[in-house]
Amino acid sequence: MKLTHIRTFQLSALFFLFPTVVYADPLPSWNEGNNKEKIISFVESVSTFGSDEYVPENKRIAVFDNDGTLWGEQPLYFQIIFAMNRASQMPPEMLETDAQRAAAQGDSEGMLKGGQESLQEVFDLTHSGQTVGAFSEAVSDWLENSRHPETNLRYDDMIYQPMLELLSYLRDNEFETYIVSAGGLHFMRTFASKAYGIDPQNVIGSTTNTEVSDENGDLVISKTPGIGWYNDGNSKIIAIDRHIGQRPIIAGGNSDGDVPMMIWTTQGDGPRLGIMIHHTDSEREASYDRDSAIGGLDQGLKEAADREWALVDMANDWRVIYPSSDSQ
């Protein structure tokens, strides 16, 4: 045995016996600054046994919006792009309304002209009349074969690297992480596990109606027309109560539809953290807030200041946006 080998062995042994106390940066894609510091100091204090702010593991619940918080949402919610793609593949005789025909032609303005009601016609066409299993496969196929018009990335690669790191960091500290989104429950579940490490039972979203039928002896769940649950605004609080049954200690969002959930979360006793993502990066992603039809953020900017939430400035706080842009 040469001396160098012995040395290596000794160093490894020492490393094993005395693990280093300088930990790796848990959020390498976050630039140094107040927000990164606020998040890390919060997580450390609630996770450190004996700390005044210690929170037992089973109370470490963190909830996050999806569209605009964990992945992109411009120029249209990705699920709406999916719906339009699906409509375009349907036989013309199935397109019964103006909104459905506009969707099939890729005319988003025409599709949205009639507001929520016309959008619902498009969802009824593209999100119902099929089993949950068949719908999930259709979403997976679409994710596999579609690219975003501006980035040319897969939609499920347009997830935010800094938020992936935050989710992992929280789980490493025994947090349970949930999605609480206005996005579709069955839509999000097709990628949430792989993209975010969030299992199906931790996804809370909007749903179509569903029904159970007996297909030659097999019980099958199908998606049927109409909204079973629309998960936005105050409804996010009700859904958290129904599904989780305890008030989270961290809530993250990016638009006014997330504000009630974030107020309710941060009003609880003990340590609480609100994280509001502000889209400020027109170069690397998109810049919008008060006047945006998608992801409008107005009240949330005021609340973030008043309630001392971390107001994340994407342009300044994030070193990278997407996992694939890590070298940019």
- Written as six digits, the tokens of 95 are 């397109």
Residue whose CB is less far from a second copy, 260 or 300: 260
End-to-end, the C-alpha distance of the chain in Å comes to 45
CB of 29 to a second copy, least distance (A): 27
* 3 interacts with a second copy by CB under 8 A: no
Choose the stretch contacting a second copy; rule: CB under 8 A; options: 62-70, 165-173, 261-269, 316-324.
Answer: 261-269
CB of 184 to a second copy, least distance (A): 12
**215-234: which residues touch a second copy (CB under 8 A)?**
218-219, 221, 228, 234
**141-200: which residues touch a second copy (CB under 8 A)?**
176, 185, 189, 199-200
Q: Which residues of 9-21 are buried (b: 16+ CB within 10 A; e: fewer)?
A: eeeeeeeeeeeee
Choose the stretch contacting a second copy; rule: CB under 8 A; options: 20-28, 115-123, 158-166, 201-209.
Answer: 201-209
Which among 253, 239, 251 is positioned nearest to 204, based on CA atoms? 239
The single residue among 147, 194, 242, 290 that binds a second copy, judged by CB under 8 A, is: 242
**40-59: which residues touch a second copy (CB under 8 A)?**
58
The single residue among 162, 184, 252, 260 that binds a second copy, judged by CB under 8 A, is: 260
User: How far is the C-alpha of 54 from the C-alpha of 291, rounded, in Å?
Assistant: 40
Q: Could you write out the DSSP letters of every residue in 211-275?
A: EEEEETTEEEEEEEEEEEE--STHHHHHHHHHHT-S--SEEEESSGGGHHHHHHHHTSSS--EEE
Residue whose CB is less far from a second copy, 7 or 194: 194
Answer whether the bond into residue 75 is a cis peptide, omega within 30°. yes
Which among 248, 270, 262 is positioned nearest to 312, based on CA atoms? 262
User: How far is the C-alpha of 210 from the C-alpha of 134, rounded, in Å?
Assistant: 13
User: How far is the C-alpha of 163 from the C-alpha of 322, rounded, in Å?
Assistant: 10
Residue whose CB is less far from a second copy, 97 or 229: 229
Which among 204, 191, 189, 207 is positioned nearest to 244, based on CA atoms? 204
- Written as six digits, the tokens of 212 are 């159970």
Residue whose CB is less far from a second copy, 126 or 235: 235
DSSP state of 318: B
Residue whose CB is less far from a second copy, 121 or 176: 176
CB of 63 to a second copy, least distance (A): 11
The per-type count for the chain, helices as H runs and strands as E runs, is 13, 9
Residue whose CB is less far from a second copy, 39 or 250: 250
CB of 53 to a second copy, least distance (A): 22
For residue 235, how many C-alpha atoms fall within 13 Å in the half-sphere facing its CB?
13
Interface characters, 275-314, with a second copy (x: CB under 8 A): ----------------------------------------
Residue whose CB is less far from a second copy, 242 or 290: 242
Contact 35, 150 (CB under 8 A): no
Residues that bind a second copy (CB under 8 A): 58, 132, 176, 185, 189, 199-201, 203, 207, 210-212, 218-219, 221, 228, 234, 237-238, 241-246, 260, 263-264, 267
